[in-house]
Amino acid sequence: MTSTHKTNKFNPETFPGVKIKTSAWGTLINRGWYNHLNKTIYLPEHAGLSYAQHEYGHHLQKSELPTFQYWKIAASSLLNATFQFLPWVVRHKYHWAEKDANRRAAAFFGPQAPIANQHIWPV
């Protein structure tokens, strides 16, 4: 079966160490996710630069943290994304693991980067 993923509008030179693939049919949790096994960021086709930068923040978590801490983040983040529909579960973008990814991405891409906009990407 051929993959429906294709390479995209994001400049690969600005995302060292990862591949970025976009897909028209959406992704696992219908926003974006990072697969550390093949170092690939998956995004819906409409996703803007800040989404790619946020997912790169997860790549930075993987490369900057010891393995067990990364797993704590990845598992916690996935659980939260899955159960955020429950009223007592914090919305995904405010989850601590997500804010950590935003912080790392903003530090990497710089204060002018779209990911550094804390109104949209809380830290």
Binding residues (CB under 5 A) for Zn ion: these are 98
Of the pair 1, 99, the CB lying nearest Zn ion is at 99
CB of residue 46 vs Zn ion: minimum separation in angstroms? 17
Of the pair 10, 98, the CB lying nearest Zn ion is at 98
Describe the strand order of the beta sheet including 19-23 as a list of residue ranges: 19-23, 40-44, 33-35
Contact 74, 35 (CB under 8 A): no
Of the pair 98, 104, the CB lying nearest Zn ion is at 98
CA quadruple 110, 111, 113, 115: dihedral positive or negative?
Answer: positive
Q: How far apart are CA 6 and CA 39, in angstroms?
A: 15
CB of residue 23 vs Zn ion: minimum separation in angstroms? 17
* Nearest residue to Zn ion, by Cβ distance, number only: 98
